[in-house]
């Protein structure tokens, strides 16, 4: 009796094992059939946020398999198609790249829509080293340093007039709205940095620019707290004292 019971249990175990194996094979087969039915295509996806007007590189993108039935129309299928093009609109991380969001030329769009109420957009030529070399980008924060050339009236009349330079941090923590490359819409038709300023600040920059002052931008850290600091204006005499230079004396 015990032997018969043991044999039955063994047979039952074998049957259950066979059923489990057949079930697993069926599930695996169905999964393979389902995968074969869902056609996949390659699409290009943004690996990071790409602001409007940015020159796109392959490093900003990645290629992924995507169900063909759900792929957007005009989806870009290779990195080569997007490399070197410009973002015609703001592209977010994970977005599938399509032909309409790419442009052969940089498009700045309607700048006025990006200006906060009460602010003004003011363009400066990219004459300082940082902006001219692409170190300054939209949404950066900068300080504006202005150097004026002053005429010092001599005691003996106009023939003894001298020129001297004075520099001051004129504006601080100014946001960069846009950076226009060659062919930008600046007054001179050349590269320009567009700053967000108050109306009074725009007037000050206008006077400095038209007076022939030298204007440079000092880039702030991305982790900067945005606080303004008090700076003393610098002149040639003040720097000679600060750095302990010896001022040359006339030869007698």
The percentage of residues in the chain with a pLDDT greater than 70, rounded to a whole number, is 77
Measured torsion, CA atoms of residues 23, 28, 32, 37, in degrees rounded to the nearest 10: 40
Q: CA separation (Å) from 75 to 41, 42, 78?
A: 10, 9, 9
Q: Is 25 helix (H, G, I), strand (E, B) or coil?
A: helix
Question: 218 with 168, same domain?
Answer: yes
Question: 126 with 216, same domain?
Answer: yes
pLDDT of residue 27: 66
Answer whether residue 160 is part of any domain: yes
Pairing type for strands 61-67 and 40-46 reads antiparallel
Q: pLDDT by residue (tens digit) across 45-104? A: 999 999 877 889 999 999 999 998 888 888 999 999 999 888 877 899 999 999 888 877
Q: Is the pTM of this model over 0.85?
A: no
Distance of CA 102 to the CA centre of its chain: 17
Question: 72 with 182, same domain?
Answer: no
Domain residues for the domain of 88 are 40-103
Range in 31-40, 53-62, 238-247 the model is least confident about: 31-40
Q: How many domains does the chain have?
A: 2
Q: Is 167 helix (H, G, I), strand (E, B) or coil?
A: strand
Give just the sign of the alpha carbon dihedral 43, 44, 45, 50: negative
pLDDT over 80 at 141, yes or no: yes
Answer whether residue 127 is part of any domain: yes
Question: 132 with 212, same domain?
Answer: yes
Strands (E), the chain: 40-46, 61-67, 86-87, 102-103, 120-125, 141-152, 162-180, 192-197, 214-219, 234-235
Helix or strand run (H / E) with residue 17? helix 2-37
Range in 74-83, 110-119, 129-138, 150-159 the model is least confident about: 150-159
């Amino acid at each position: 009796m015990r032997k018969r019971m043991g044999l039955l249990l063994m047979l039952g175990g074998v049957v259950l094992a066979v059923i489990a194996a057949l079930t697993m094979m069926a599930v695996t087969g169905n999964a393979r059939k389902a995968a074969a039915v869902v056609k996949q295509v390659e699409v290009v996806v943004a690996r990071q946020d790409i602001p409007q007007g940015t020159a796109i590189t392959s490093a900003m993108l990645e290629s992924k398999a995507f169900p063909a039935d759900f792929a957007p129309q005009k989806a870009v299928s290779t990195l080569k198609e997007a490399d070197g093009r410009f973002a015609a609109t703001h592209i977010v991380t994970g977005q599938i790249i399509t032909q309409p969001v790419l442009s052969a030329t940089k498009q700045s769009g309607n700048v006025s829509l990006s200006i906060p109420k009460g602010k003004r957009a003011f363009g400066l030529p990219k004459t300082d080293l940082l902006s001219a070399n692409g170190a300054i980008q939209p949404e950066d924060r900068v300080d504006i340093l202005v150097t004026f050339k002053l005429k010092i009236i001599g005691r003996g009349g106009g023939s003894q007039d001298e020129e001297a330079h004075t520099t001051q941090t004129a504006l601080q923590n100014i946001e960069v709205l846009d950076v226009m490359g060659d062919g930008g819409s600046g007054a001179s038709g050349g590269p320009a940095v567009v700053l967000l300023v108050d109306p009074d600040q725009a007037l000050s920059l206008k006077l400095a620019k038209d007076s022939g002052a030298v204007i440079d931008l000092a880039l702030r850290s991305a982790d900067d707290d945005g606080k303004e600091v008090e700076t003393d204006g610098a002149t040639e005499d003040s720097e000679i004292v600060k750095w302990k230079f010896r001022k040359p004396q006339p030869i007698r």
